[in-house]
Amino acid sequence: MTQVYFDNAATTAIRPEVISRMMEVMQDIPGNPSSTHAVGRKAKTVIEQARKTIASYLNATPAEIIFTSGGTEADNLIINSAVRDLGVRHIITSPIEHHAVLHVVEHLQSNYDVKISMVAIKECGSVDLDNLQSLLESNSEKTLISLMHINNEIGNMLDLEAVCTLAKNHNALFHSDMVQSVGHFDINLSELPIDFIAAAAHKFHGPKGIGFAFIRKNSKIRPLIFGGGQERGSRAGTEPVHNIAGMETALILAQENMIAERKHIEEIKWYFKEQLENKIPGVHFNGNCHDGTKSTYTLLNVCLPVSSDKALMLLFQLDLKGIACSKGSACQSGSDQGSHVLNAFLANDKLDKPSVRFSFSHENTKEEVDYVVDTLKQFMS
């Protein structure tokens, strides 16, 4: 059976070079990086070299990179610590954030009397920056803005420079979940005065279970996980040396191949959009994913003109045909409440129809697009 993987926003396949590097580290570097003997120091060297590499691609300093188990832990570390350690009493976020952010702020609101403000979302699914400014102007307490750079379901891109300016003008801190950005876009943190970001290796063809937080120097954030003094005292626990080395290799390859792979992925995305429009009348694209200037090049969120009775079987039928895609974030795949992102801005007539996220990598082909479009057309006939 044909197998098509169009769910790269959920996770990407690990590059062979990354697997080779991880195997090399597991076989040849067995030491605990906290040990002071030669074997331990060799493992520590791998970690610190990876930290330098990642920092160099972000134009940050190595001390500002803290390794975590992934994007969720990084978001939790940053947001919780901002309240506990930095005096934040007001958090501005949006209803279209990943649950790694939304559930944290809900917890802080319920248990620590932190005020939460939800910035308005426009009809296109983008953050209303005028409303963000109003929320900042109407509050005098120490504020953290937490807004993702690229929405993982609809692909809309946040104007980082505009939010940085608003944050600076109102003495607010700015955290951005960049899980869908790092490895796909050049990020220069010396030019963008963002205070905190989160990233995950498995979104750019690295291993699962490893990511990092960027915490701008002198932020004085304390750890969430206590124990040893790993990660300069910011995150206890023996570091997974092989995963960190794998993430370093994955980011090196993502950066080196970014231009060529972006060109290929863009061709796949726009060819897919064109074929859908030509063969499925009434198809609709959610958010700004149809606009190359306002969205990432890696995904399309497609609303299909399917009756409600057929809609329930859509993903099941696609799966039977060997097509991997998603109705939203993989983290909520078992939910029957629909996408909280689409619920935040879509009109009822669109919410009544099935929406599917198709997300792409350099490994996808136009032949796969043809197969998926033909499968959709057959299903809807």
Domain boundaries, the chain: 4-12+258-380, 16-256
The catalytic residue among 124, 164, 303, 331 is 331
174/221 Cα distance (integer angstroms):
14
Say whether pLDDT at 245 is over 50. yes
| CB count in 10 Å sphere of residue 244 | 27
Say whether pLDDT at 328 is over 70. no
CATH number of 4-12+258-380: 3.90.1150.10
pLDDT in tens, 125-146: 999 999 999 999 999 999 999 9
Q: What is the pLDDT of residue 338?
A: 83
| Host H or E run for residue 357 | strand 355-359
49/19 Cα distance (integer angstroms):
18
| CB count in 10 Å sphere of residue 381 | 5
Q: What is the pLDDT of residue 381?
A: 81
The DSSP code sequence of 76-110 is HHHHHHHHHHH---EEEE-TTS-HHHHHHHHHHHH
Mean pLDDT calculated for residue range 66-88 = 97
Active site residue 331: yes
Nearest 10 degrees: Cα torsion 129, 198, 224, 90: 0
Using alpha carbons, select from 55, 51, 146 the residue that is nearest to residue 97: 146
Query: Which CATH number is 16-256's, of 3.40.50.720, 3.30.200.20, 2.40.50.100, 3.40.640.10?
Result: 3.40.640.10
User: Model confidence at 336, in pLDDT bands (50, 70, 90)?
Assistant: low
Instruction: Give the N- to C-terminal CA distance of the chain in Å, as an integer.
Output: 22
User: Model confidence at 303, in pLDDT bands (50, 70, 90)?
Assistant: very high
Mean residue pLDDT across the chain: 95
Say whether pLDDT at 330 is over 60. no
